[in-house]
Amino acid sequence: MFGTILNSWALFSGFGLIMIAHTLQGTLLNINSVFFNFSDFEIGYVFTGYFIGFLFSSIQCPKLIKNVGHIRVFAAFASLGSIAILLHWIFVDPVLWLIFRMITGFSYAAIYIVCESWLNDRADNQTRGQLIGFYMIVLYISTSIGVMLINIGTTTEAHLYILSSLLISLALVPILLTKKPAPEFTTPKFLSLKDLYNKSPMAFVGSFSIGMVYSALFGLIAVFGAKIGFSIFQISILVFVNMFIGAIFQYPIGKISDRYDRRTILFVLNLIAIGSLILAFIFGSFSFFVLLVFIGIHSAVSLPYYAVVISHMNDFLEKDEIVSASSTLTLVNALGMVAGPMLASGFMAYFGPYGFFIYMIVVYSLVAPYNYFRIRVGRTSDIYEENTPSMIVPRNTSSIGMQLATEQILNKIAEEEEVSQ
């Protein structure tokens, strides 16, 4: 295991630095959009820009990598990302921030695709699970560090912008100096949206709706904290709890979903999410600790939700369809993410800061009846005797990262079939 990880040290160290910078700048811009008196409408379209760029890059960047290679794409878009964060400091204007966020979203999606395709090339059937596990560890440790770095400087001064830019630039060093050759790139295949919906309607709807929640939750939670007057340290703790608790619960909830109809698991997660958000809305103003408890409960069920959606989809697919369908599902999720910040900021404009919770309650409440309908009338899988193995995936993985995770699942399915024979 350690030999495999050491052979990929440049990739993991570069990716870790990128994620520290990414989380730091996201939290920083959330807070400063409030401090610079952007309207709720302006905040909405500014942070929608990131997901527009991310979606467009997810479609276009694989072609670019195939034409010019991994290292050039990584270097180019890391440089663009490094420049973009400094431009936010130089030009404090919501329209320009929208453009800068689109550049940032495009750049980070490209970086994810490069890292995850490189990781996929390094993996084989024996090491894939270990590499995915270490990738997740690096991801969550790095994002945790990035959140807490917001406390080392004043958010309205240049220091944190410069630090974020430096971290992105530093990430180039191990990647560009590695002696390991860049892998051959295979453009991911996609199942049509119509075929995906026909094969697993609940996965399609669940992926889109949780995308609407994720982009609002991770894109605007620091905005919510700033609007209700939390200190910088309190906001960093709020963001940390929102990310970290969900990461811890991915594995146990995935294992539970292996044993039951995953539509039922999704319905239960949906109800718990609604309940926790209602309680956060009612009692969150009582104390910071009370709010953290309910944010933590919501995180525990919302972050694993997407992984359960993917596993549910796999239950209804032939093995040769799983990789292409997973790639399409990431695009469905990204489309939902584009809608989230704009709609959530509209709720915050109408209802005040706690409209942040009302928006997510509405999304979950619209999905819950459909989820119940699918439980009542939807067919059960006739492809596999038992549920396919559960998956653990980052909330913002690319189509290439999804391919890496699904190939691990295919290996597990093959192993289970061999044992049963």
pLDDT tens-digit map of 327-356: 788 889 889 999 999 999 999 999 999 999
Sign of the four-CA dihedral 392, 278, 294, 32: positive
Say whether both 311 and 411 belong to one domain. yes
Pair 46, 101: CB distance under 8 Å: yes
Token readout for 233 is 């340290």
Mark which of 169, 187, 205 sits at the end of a domain.
187
DSSP state of 398: -
Say whether both 158 and 204 belong to one domain. no
Say whether both 280 and 174 belong to one domain. no
> What are the angstrom distances between the C-alpha of 308 and each of 55, 77, 197, 323?
22, 32, 16, 16
Neighbouring residues of 67: CB distance < 8 A, sequence distance ≥ 6: none
Nearest to 269 by CA among 175, 372, 346: 372
What does the alpha-carbon distance between residue 171 and residue 13 come to, in Å, rounded to a whole number? Answer: 7
- How many domains, in total, are found in the chain? 2
Mark which of 135, 163, 187 sits at the end of a domain.
187
Say whether both 283 and 381 belong to one domain. yes
Query: Which secondary structure element, helix H or strand E, spans residue 124, and what is its range?
Result: none
Mean pLDDT by 10 residues, the chain (421 residues): 64 86 93 94 94 88 80 87 94 95 92 76 63 76 90 88 93 76 63 85 92 92 94 94 86 83 92 96 91 94 88 78 79 91 95 95 96 81 58 61 60 60 56
What does the alpha-carbon distance between residue 33 and residue 156 come to, in Å, rounded to a whole number? Answer: 10
Say whether both 159 and 214 belong to one domain. no
How many residues would you count in the chain? 421
Query: Which secondary structure element, helix H or strand E, spans residue 268, and what is its range?
Result: helix 262-283
Nearest to 242 by CA among 177, 182, 302: 302
What confidence score (pLDDT) does residue 366 get?
Answer: 96
Mark which of 187, 214, 233 sits at the end of a domain.
187
Say whether both 167 and 298 belong to one domain. no
pLDDT tens-digit map of 369-415: 999 998 888 666 555 456 666 666 666 665 555 665 666 666 666 66
Say whether both 170 and 125 belong to one domain. yes
What confidence score (pLDDT) does residue 387 get?
Answer: 62
> What are the angstrom distances between the C-alpha of 310 and each of 191, 257, 271, 328, 403?
14, 11, 19, 11, 12
Give the CATH number for residue 86: 1.20.1250.20
Say whether both 231 and 216 belong to one domain. yes
User: How many C-beta atoms lie closer than 10 Å to residue 355's C-beta?
Assistant: 21
Annotate 259-269 with b (16+ C-beta within 10 A) or e (fewer).
eebbbebbbbb
For residue 411, which phi and psi values (nearest 5 degrees)?
Answer: -60, -45
* Residues of the domain holding 178: 1-187
Sign of the four-CA dihedral 89, 86, 164, 139: positive
Neighbouring residues of 245: CB distance < 8 A, sequence distance ≥ 6: 296, 299, 300, 303
Say whether both 177 and 289 belong to one domain. no
Pair 209, 336: CB distance under 8 Å: yes
Say whether both 179 and 212 belong to one domain. no
Q: Could you please report the per-residue DSSP string of 132-171?
A: HHHHHHHHHHHHHHHHHGGGGS-TTSSHHHHHHHHHHHHH
**pTM attached to this predicted model:** 0.88
What does the alpha-carbon distance between residue 257 and residue 206 come to, in Å, rounded to a whole number? Answer: 15
**What are 277-283's contacts with CB under 8 Å, separation 24+?**
277/357, 277/360, 277/361, 277/364, 278/357, 278/361, 280/357, 281/354, 281/357, 281/358, 281/361
Pair 222, 235: CB distance under 8 Å: yes
> What are the angstrom distances between the C-alpha of 366 and each of 210, 260, 399?
12, 23, 27
Say whether both 165 and 45 belong to one domain. yes
What does the alpha-carbon distance between residue 119 and residue 68 come to, in Å, rounded to a whole number? Answer: 18
Say whether both 160 and 202 belong to one domain. no
